[in-house]
Amino acid sequence: GQQVMQIPQYQHVQEGEDFTTYCNSSTTLSNIQWYKQRPGGHPVFLIQLVKSGEVKKQKRLTFQFGEAKKNSSLHITATQTTDVGTYFCAEYQAGTALIFGKGTTLSVSS
Amino acid sequence: EAGVTQFPSHSVIEKGQTVTLRCDPISGHDNLYWYRRVMGKEIKFLLHFVKESKQDESGMPNNRFLAERTGGTYSTLKVQPAELEDSGVYFCASSQGEREVFGQGTRLTVV
């Protein structure tokens, strides 16, 4: 079935450094959603991208959807300790549910 | 608005016992989903209700898992008998469109 691959699995950065997580699919994605799960918490919706080449920003977070709609990235500029958590990409498949990547767990040291 | 509520937040049971998880979706949300995250792995889809009907239960691991959604409102997920590999965090989510809202999850530990 459809799989969304996400890398890296873990990333540790110093506070103030940038961070990027990538999602890739072998087939064209209809959309890509990004979620953040804080330690001990639950996935919280961040954003959805639908259009080829789309770029959206939320403060220090930049989300991109590839031109071929087969990859996406989430970039955090100048990380803060509040950015700690696991970031998941997921494709929403109409009529079924979300297909998640394995997630990237970000840790930040001050 | 009230969010998605799950109960209990934690459950520790012995292998062979039965556990029932409950999810109260956001009022008015027709879609209700169950997911599971086993430690260190991805969040995996279990099943999807539209109102009281099972739309897709292709993710259910085996017949030890039974989900119901009474009257299209709250949903229960029963595991009987529980096995060690059933341990993980069970998330419920609801939606009225493409954006799903997740509950806090139930952490199930089978010992």
* Predicted confidence (pLDDT) per residue in B12-64, tens digit: 999 999 999 999 999 999 999 999 999 878 899 999 999 999 999 999 999 99
pLDDT of residue A97: 86
Using CA atoms, how far apart are residues B11 and B65, in angstroms rounded to an integer? 16
What DSSP assignment string belongs to B67-93?
EEEGGGS-EEEEESS--GGG-EEEEEE
Using CA atoms, how far apart are residues B74 and B90, in angstroms rounded to an integer? 15
Residues in chain A: 110
The answer to whether the CB atoms of A42 and B102 lie below 8 A apart is yes
Mean pLDDT of residues grouped by 10 in chain A (110 residues)?
A: 86 98 95 95 95 97 97 98 97 86 95
Take residue A51 and report the two structure tokens written for it.
Answer: 């259009």
The answer to whether the CB atoms of A95 and B103 lie below 8 A apart is no
Expressed in percent and rounded to 5, the helix, strand and coil fractions of chain A are 5, 55, 45
* Predicted confidence (pLDDT) per residue in A38-55, tens digit: 998 999 999 999 999 999
Residue to substitute from B42, B44, B50, B91, interface A, most A β-carbons within 10 A: B42
